């Protein structure tokens, strides 16, 4: 597991250094994906290519799932789940909240995760059963926070229909919590939760590459991560917070019926 973590960390650092170096001169020419708001830059693709090359050079045959290139076939029990830039819109605008996220799954279970936030000089790591770390500092999420004192992070999808529902839900959540933050990177939101910078997080419609690595960071920091109605976290829904707050936020979200745009 340590080998997986150190390989993932080396690769995430190399990709982050490349992105930091190339971002100032990057072209503002972008392509769009599912909608005009869903963008991909040439550097998302370059970062993913670099990560795929490094993983396959070290572990030929492993499977790789990446945001830009989809799933690489392979017969290994090991799958790498890669977001070459989580927070692409922040990256495009020169905001610091973007990350390179790499998780390693063995037989479907995430055993190691790295979230590199190059513009902040922060690298979050976690290994299953061995805790979550920001550099050399062990992370523990906030505990004992009631819903009405909770700082809650969330995000929005790229489809206008989904955003309309998410807007209604967030308006109601806002009246019940201390405040809301929309940072623009799911991976950083979950790592911020692990570091006690926010108390909770929820979002509908994220992808495994957004939450695989940071989900392990959050749970190894003591948080509970799941979906709605007892389901595990999935692209359908993610709720995350320390036990106690998790249930309060879950029940509020379940009552607001965020599944109606399914």
Helix 160-174, helix 245-255: angle, nearest 10: 120
Query: Which CB, 62 or 203, lies closer to ligand IPD?
Result: 203
Q: From the CB of 244, what's the least distance to ligand IPD, in Å?
A: 25
Specify whether the CB–CB gap between 72 and 158 falls below 8 A.
no
Query: Which CB, 85 or 245, lies closer to ligand IPD?
Result: 85
Query: Which CB, 62 or 83, lies closer to ligand IPD?
Result: 83
Query: Which CB, 198 or 206, lies closer to ligand IPD?
Result: 206
Q: Which position has the token pair 């359908």?
A: 236
The verdict on whether residue 67 carries a ligand-binding annotation is yes
The verdict on whether residue 189 carries a ligand-binding annotation is no
Helices within the chain (DSSP H only): 2-22, 42-58, 88-93, 160-174, 186-194, 208-220, 245-255
Residues in contact with ligand IPD by the rule CB under 6 A? 67, 83, 86-88, 155-157, 184-186, 203, 206, 210
Q: Nearest to residue 247, comparing CAs of 256, 239, 259?
A: 239
Query: Which CB, 9 or 68, lies closer to ligand IPD?
Result: 68
Q: From the CB of 231, what's the least distance to ligand IPD, in Å?
A: 18
Q: Report d(CA 193, CA 249) in Å as an integer.
A: 14
Q: From the CB of 154, what's the least distance to ligand IPD, in Å?
A: 8
The verdict on whether residue 210 carries a ligand-binding annotation is yes
Q: From the CB of 138, what's the least distance to ligand IPD, in Å?
A: 25
Q: From the CB of 140, what's the least distance to ligand IPD, in Å?
A: 23
The residue with its CB nearest to ligand IPD is 155
Q: Nearest to residue 103, comparing CAs of 203, 228, 191?
A: 191
Q: Nearest to residue 146, comparing CAs of 256, 241, 255, 232?
A: 241
The verdict on whether residue 29 carries a ligand-binding annotation is no
The verdict on whether residue 86 carries a ligand-binding annotation is yes
- Angle in degrees, CA 86, 139, 17, rounded to 5: 40
Query: Binding site residues for Mg(2+), as ranges?
Result: 67, 83, 85-86, 210
């Amino acid at each position: 597991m340590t080998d997986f973590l150190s390989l993932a960390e080396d690769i995430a650092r190399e990709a982050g250094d490349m992105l930091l170096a190339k971002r100032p001169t990057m072209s503002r020419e972008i392509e769009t994906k599912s909608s005009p708001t869903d963008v991909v830059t040439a550097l998302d693709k370059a970062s993913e290519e670099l990560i795929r090359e490094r993983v396959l050079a070290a572990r030929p045959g492993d499977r790789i799932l990446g945001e830009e290139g989809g799933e690489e076939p392979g017969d290994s029990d090991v799958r790498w789940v890669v977001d070459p830039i989580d927070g692409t819109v922040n990256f495009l605008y020169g905001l610091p909240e973007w990350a390179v996220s790499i998780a390693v799954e063995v037989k479907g279970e995430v055993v190691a995760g790295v979230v590199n936030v190059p513009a902040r000089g922060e690298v979050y790591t976690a290994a299953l059963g061995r805790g979550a770390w920001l550099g050399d500092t062990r992370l523990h999420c906030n505990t004992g926070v009631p819903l009405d004192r909770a700082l809650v992070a969330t995000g929005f999808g790229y489809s206008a229909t989904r955003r309309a529902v998410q807007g209604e839900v967030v308006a109601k959540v806002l009246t019940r919590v201390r405040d809301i933050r929309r940072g623009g990177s799911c991976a950083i939101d979950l790592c911020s939760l692990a570091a006690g910078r926010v108390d909770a997080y929820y979002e509908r419609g994220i992808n495994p590459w957004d939450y695989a690595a940071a989900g392990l960071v959050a749970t190894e920091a003591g948080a509970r991560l799941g979906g709605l109605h007892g389901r595990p976290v999935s692209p359908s829904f993610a709720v995350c917070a320390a036990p106690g707050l998790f249930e309060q936020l879950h029940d509020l979200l379940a009552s607001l019926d965020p599944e109606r745009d399914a």
